[in-house]
Amino acid sequence: MRHKVESLRREGERALIGFLGHWVDRKSSLKWRRAVASAATTNGEALCKAPIARTAQGMLPRMAQEFFECGNEAVKTKASSRELHQFRIVSKKFRYTLELFTSVYGASLNSALERIRRVQGVLGEINDCDTVRRMLSQYKEADRMTSWLKKRQRRRIEEFQQHWTETFAAGGELQSWSALLSRPAGSIRQARKPAGRAGVASQTAGRRRVAVA
């Protein structure tokens, strides 16, 4: 009976960890994304987007550099679980911040977000395996499960290393991201004010005087 209860508890813990990770990925920045989207669709759209675009231009290229630097450290063969977890936090912060600015970047940001989601998903599985392994380490009867989790964690680490090397470690990737994030699709340039009637009349009179001369 005791063994059955412990088994059910472990299953519940794994399910809870997975659910919380899924919930955080989908819900934590929802209110902020809605607020930005709402601001960008009001009657003063140009006025709203201009300061948002300037904020994005100043913030996101620096965050991209941090993301790449931490990723290059985490992809090392002997990176610890702590280092991988720290990079997971950086990637989540970067992704959620990017999502706040989707209204000013438009569809150009979709591909970048999808690539980060994949990295974040693999890192999440690695962290789940590590967390459950530590929870089970106090139970001798869980040795088989612990061994299975260790192998699964290693496979996910190898998957992360391969994906990062193929997708982010190529030459010029950071520069491409910086260029993308430096040019929001919704950035607003101040337009030249059209000349009023008096200005048009003055310009016309000036051209006539030149023609007569």
Summarize pLDDT for 107-155 with one digit per residue, the tens.
Answer: 888 989 999 999 999 999 999 999 998 888 888 778 888 899 999 999 9
- CA gap 203, 159 in Å, rounded: 68
pTM: 0.64
Summarize pLDDT for 27-70 with one digit per residue, the tens.
Answer: 555 555 555 555 455 444 544 556 788 888 889 999 999 999 99
C-alpha distance from residue 178 to each of 30, 64, 91, 113 (Å): 25, 7, 16, 14
Summarize pLDDT for 67-96 with one digit per residue, the tens.
Answer: 999 999 999 877 888 899 999 999 999 999
Enter the DSSP assignment of 106: G
Percent of all residues in the chain with a pLDDT value above 70, rounded to a whole number = 63
Residue-range domain boundaries for the chain: 2-212
Q: What is the pLDDT of residue 195?
A: 44
At residue 63, the 3 state secondary structure works out as helix
Q: What is the pLDDT of residue 160?
A: 94
| pLDDT beyond 50 at 191 | no
Q: Specify the higher pLDDT residue, 20 or 182.
A: 182
Residue 126 and residue 157 in contact, taking contact as beta carbons nearer than 8 Å? yes
